[in-house]
Amino acid sequence: MPVIKLTDEVIETFICPPEKKHLEVFDEVLKGFYVDVLPSGRITYRIRYWQNSKKCLQSIGNARTMLVSEARNLALSSMQEIKQKNLLIKVSPDHLGVKLDSFLLEQYLPYIRSYKRSWKSDVSMINTHITPKLGRLVMCKVTAFDITNFIETMKHKNLAPGTINRALVLLRYAYKLAERWQEPGVNSSAWVSIKQLKVDNRIERYLTPDQSASLLQAMKGSLNTQLVYIMAFLIYTGARKREVLEIKWGDINFDQSSWKISKNKSNKVRHVPLSEGALEILSAIREKSTGTHCGVSIEQNDFIFVNPSTGKPYSSFFYSWNTARVKAGMPELRVHDLRHSFASFLVNAGRSIYEVKELLGHADIKTTSRYAHLSQESLKAAVSAVPKFSINDG
């Protein structure tokens, strides 16, 4: 009695062996649902159940004219009607549908891999957190209690709220896809009462101008001769690390002093104006990028910040970065804090939060607000704008 996942394509290949009167192939998604293949070529959808200790069969429809998804839904409805009539059904409720791990690995991942650049993060999330706790559960049987228990398990592992929320987003989307693809019995009602965890990861670490100068000074003696240029360019532009590491000479318009960023987090092309400081860095690299500097010339390599060991962009520079930040007395500083510092420099200089939003490439002004940390000096100057009034008598 073969058991496989029935699909329209698979059913088209079924042929009854000459030595048999008929061939039964059962569905692994919905237990009790199967197709009956006759020597004549006729294929019929059926369900099998037990009533009063007798095996019973019920035909659902002709497999030559009905899609398997339609037949599976009709089969599930028939099984539920039989159960409601207090008949003894062989099919266990725990098997009325696809298991979560099967759906995620066989349907969800192949789908998101076709368009999502960070699909490998989903693979890691599924294998590390979701499958061990929820994987063997049937999707249509997952309850709000199961999800709440899953959240508490992740909390017990001291996982960050942001990590837990990403798992919930993945699961919620998986259920929406299952509904869209008409997986039997699947609905997202269990998710109605599930709320995202509050995340307070606002970054308070940013550099003052003096600290920025000290950091860059600490990099001048680095064995990584490109490090000081990379970090200075990050400070001058507020760009993300990967955006800077993958920048090419063809992305720079020196006549308009702008940088075209095509590959970024939002997948939207944006044009970033370059300050005098940023342009000076590019000019300095351009002057030095002749002959054998970094192993290649500009004509041989389109990338601006080239790893001399590989002739390609850096995949990582943690060792040289860690050495420099420790030397500068800032061991907790992160590369992303330079982006935060860029925003703070602008806000403290009186630039509007909307200008900062455009320069950082944020889609939502709420995201930019995280970076708007005014210095105490700016706040003191702000309150001084209130006129002074005389309240003394006389």
Are 160 and 276 in the same domain? no
Confidence of residue 18 (pLDDT cuts 50, 70, 90): confident
Taking only the tens place, the pLDDT of each residue in 34-93 is 999 998 889 999 998 876 667 788 889 899 889 999 999 998 888 887 776 644 444 444
With contact defined as beta carbons under 8 Å apart, do 284 and 229 qualify? yes
Read off the pTM: 0.53
- Tell me if 47 is assigned to some domain: yes
User: Higher confidence at residue 259 or residue 392?
Assistant: 259
Residues 258 and 346 both lie in one domain = yes
CB count within 10 Å of CB 14 equals 16
- Whether residues 166 and 276 share a domain: the answer is no
Task: Specify the 3-state DSSP secondary structure of 126.
Answer: helix
**β-bridge pairing 3-4 and 23-27:** parallel
65 within some domain: yes
Statement to judge: residues 46 and 145 lie in one domain: no
Q: What was the pLDDT predicted at 372?
A: 55
Single-letter amino acid, residue 353: I
Q: 203 by DSSP, 3-state: which?
A: coil
Q: How many domains does the chain have?
A: 3
Same domain, 122 and 137: yes
Rounded (10°) CA dihedral 48, 51, 55, 59: -40
Pairing state between β 54-62 and 33-37: unpaired
User: How much is the mean pLDDT over the chain?
Assistant: 83
Q: Which two tokens stand for residue 183?
A: 């997986």
Same domain, 88 and 110: no
* Residue 217 lies in domain: 209-380
Assess whether 91 and 228 both reside in one domain: no
Task: Identify whether the C-beta of residue 129 lies closer than 8 Å to the C-beta of residue 154.
Answer: yes
Query: Band of the pLDDT at 300, cuts 50, 70, 90?
Result: very low
The Cβ of residue 148 has, within 10 Å, a number of other Cβ atoms equal to 13
**Same domain, residue pair 245 and 351:** yes
pLDDT cut 90: percent of the chain above it: 34
CATH of the domain at 238: 1.10.443.10
pLDDT digits (tens, 9 = 90+) for 83-121: 766 444 444 444 457 889 999 998 999 999 888 878 888
Pair 341, 244 in one domain: yes
Over residues 130-156, the pLDDT tens digits come to 999 998 899 988 888 889 899 999 998
**Is 391 inside a domain boundary?**
no
Place of tokens 């008598």: 393
**Tally of CA atoms within 13 A in the half-sphere of 106 that contains its CB:** 11
- Would you tell me how many other CB atoms lie within 10 Å of the CB of residue 103? 23
